Amino acid sequence: MNIYPAIDLKAGQCVRLLQGDYDQVTIYQNDPILVAQEFAAQGATHLHVVDLDGAKQGQSENFSIIEKIAHESPLQIQTGGGIRTKQQVENILQKGIQRVVIGSIAVLQPKEVKSWLREFTGEKIVLALDVRINDDNIPIAALHGWQTPSEKTLWELLDDYQDSGLKHVLCTDILCDGMLQGPNIDLYQQCVKRYPTLSFQASGGVSSLHDLQALVKIPVAGVIIGKALYENKFTLKEALTC
């Protein structure tokens, strides 16, 4: 299981949102490049970077910072937020980014995203499918930086992508995100059981080494860790060892 420490960018700063709420922002660091370098110094090999402004506005807003992180750290970076076109995907990959994270457009324009998967390969694209669990325990996809619900379930979306070469899926339970109350283990167990050929990344709610051990047992391929690191619930070195 790969550990992806997370950097969420808003107005050039390293922040965290609570349950995707842009009005509930905590600023942790004014220099995200320094944060990335510190992660690398602690042993990280991977990094997850989200352009929150881009996710909300529908166009990349902080890419110059992300590009600088790629050039000034040894980390393998996956990044997303506001990516809407094939040209954006191509430009990002040409800048030394390992994977492009595709969010809302994967739900709204699956035909287009499938063509990107076939052209750039499933190794270069991650589908970020953010969900809210409804009263029937069914994960429903959310759009536009988690601001808008869709009518599609997670299972419908993943079924639709089975013939596209899809490999990597980052799934976030929005209600867990930023809460430090543990990830939705049941959700990831269902994901792995239903789609054993996909590599799932868990995101949202990780608060302890016990959470990481539970995710390893499922097993998921990766886990995104943000707030727990910034608020010193455990160290990155402990997470990597775990």
31 is catalytic: no
How far apart CA 140 and CA 115 sit, in angstroms, is 24
177 is catalytic: no
Active site residue: 53, 130, 173, 177, which one? 130
How far apart CA 166 and CA 156 sit, in angstroms, is 14
Active site residue: 8, 51, 173, 211, which one? 8
In the chain the beta strands, taken as DSSP E runs, fall at: 2-10, 13-18, 21-29, 46-51, 76-80, 99-102, 125-133, 139-143, 148-153, 168-173, 199-203, 222-225
Query: Beta strands 125-133 and 168-173: pairing type?
Result: parallel
The distance of Cα 119 from the centroid of its chain, to the nearest Å, equals 22
Contact predicate 214/186, CB 8 Å: no
Closest listed residue to residue 47, CA positions, set 86, 9, 90: 9
Could you list the active site residues? 8, 130
